[in-house]
Structure 1
Amino acid sequence: MIATHATHTTRIVLPGLVEPDGLEVTSVPVPSPGPKQLLVQVEATGISFAEQSMRRGRYYGQPAFPFTPGYDLVGRVLSAGDSADEGMIGRRVATMTKTGAWAGHAVVEVRDSILVPDQVPSDEAETVVVNGVTAWQMLHRAAKIEPGQTILLFGANGGVGGILIQLALHHGLRVIGAASPRHHEALREAGVTPVDYADPDLAATVRALAPGGVDAVFDNIGGSITRLSFDLLAPGGTVVTYAIVGEVSGTGNLVWPFVKAIGQAALWSVLQNGRRATFYDLWAGHRFRPARFRRHLEADLGRVFDLLAQGVITANIAARFPLTEAAAALRLAESHTLNGKVILLP
């Protein structure tokens, strides 16, 4: 174990149910890694829908206030705890943290950390950590989509959507992207056929584009959109629900919508011959099948990093802010006017 020269670090704290300006910029002692942990000097972190939901107390399983947000990070390893590979010291890692990444230094778990290729800049790598794993696994593990097939993607202008589009086109898929009309021109330029997710005639529009049905739908809205998505499937198709924005954005109980969505997916898969539905959970197996979780994380994020390093996919950075300006960055991210991810740079 080696020590960092810094004794204190910046940490952003979400103190409670506050507006973005209520975020607190604090200075705290640099933490020390425990067993199977690493101390990382953070080089890039970012803002996703998860942090926006946590600010409103609407993210299932979030910790009690106050806490430091930050779902993922990229940084350089400064020291290693007991039973951690000291060969990682000095190298850059990408880590899924769920919380705690909005800081100058962070203690992370070895098993949730993947080495970042030297040729990939930290801010670009940050855009594809959670988003890239999610997109890759939904395409290739959940939907098992094949070249030449057609998919319908809700949230096409979002962080996950932007990476999924690139991976899908690289895989030889036709992409129909559902988003607000203000994002349609950018989607066309990316090679996507855009549709308005709020169009009352959305079903007819999609059926005109794919008369035989779509082979997979990636749904981040839930509720009635999931039902519509299932009806738009071709024989053998799959609906992958990866968020329930419609429910999370409300005010009711958070547990029941998730239970309902998971149960509904299981029931439809049993009752509908050849078509199926699934609820994608990035953290599935993290606690009870850790070795398998790690293998998939390493393989899938590694593949995404390779594609990024080769220039096959590109990082979509909407804006960069210093970590100390997290409030302004969060306000911009919540404006829903962006196409890409907002990056925080400690």
Structure 2
Amino acid sequence: MTVNNSIDDHVHQAIQDFAWNRTLHQTLSTFIAVVGTILNLIAISVLVKGGLYRQSPFKFVLNLFVSNLFMCSVCLPIISSYTFSEHLENNGVCSFYGYIIYSILGTAVLNIVLISLNRYFLIVRFTLYRKIYTARNIRIMLAVVWTFYPILFLFPLSGIWGSFSYDRFRFICHPVHSSDGFRDFAFTITLLLTVPSILFCYIEILKKVNSTFRRVRNLQRAQARRLRNERQLVRTILVTIILFSCMNLPFIVLSIADPYMDKASLAAHGFVIYLGWSNAVINPMIYSILNNQIKSSLLDIIGKILKRNSRRIFPSEMPKLEIRVISLPLQESSVFVEVREIKYPN
């Protein structure tokens, strides 16, 4: 009897944990999807309307915002729909949804690498920057970034190597459980493409900026202005990389160490999953706060919107009142006036 009670308690606790886990995914996936979509749309609008996207460095920032927008407007709504239904995993499109989600996630990661390399050549190897970042080469870079992971995940999608299977705890179809070989290969190639390149770029950038900063007193005004711009770029991207690492590394490490979610608690897995997703919300906020060009463009757009709305509330052609005294009687207590509406040209 005691053993049966213990088993019943364990099953009851597992059911409660699963229900709580579903509620957590429902709430966070929906919230991050809505907020992230709005913020990334605003950030994209600022870059486009402000004309910043024409500059090479901002083309890669725009590309990052677009990938973050897809994460929030495509990936998270798919996960949210699974959390609100019990039977979507059997509807025949689970593998295709998983393919889309993991392709977009991989592309977002490569966009961070692309920005790091761009900043490296812009600050450390400026003489090579214009030769490398031509319009043609930029198109090739973006094409590679947006096709690399979609091609890679065709292997499990087609069943050639691995497969997509539904995870009822993560509410997503992924290739993690299907084949240890493909899982290890995917994680390894992701770490090799990201960590060494990002570390190399920012170590070299920091060394360059620090060495230049020591000679700042001997710089001319134009050189000093460029140094300030470089320091601003370093600060912005350094914050981006630090937050990206802090938000995504726990998910990567826990996914490798506990792929079947039988070691750590569901709460721990849920926390690191949405910590990673929330990076798509943080990125547009970082750039809007730390980058002066994006910030000024955003404030300019807000100013135009407020000015347009103020004209609607307070139209420019408002009627003016002309008051004339037409008679002054003997009694000091009463004065007769004529009020007439006139309009003056603006």
What TM-score range do you get, normalising by the shorter chain?
A: under 0.3
TM-score by length of 1: 0.23
Structure showing the higher helix proportion among its residues? 2
Q: Which has the larger radius of gyration?
A: 2
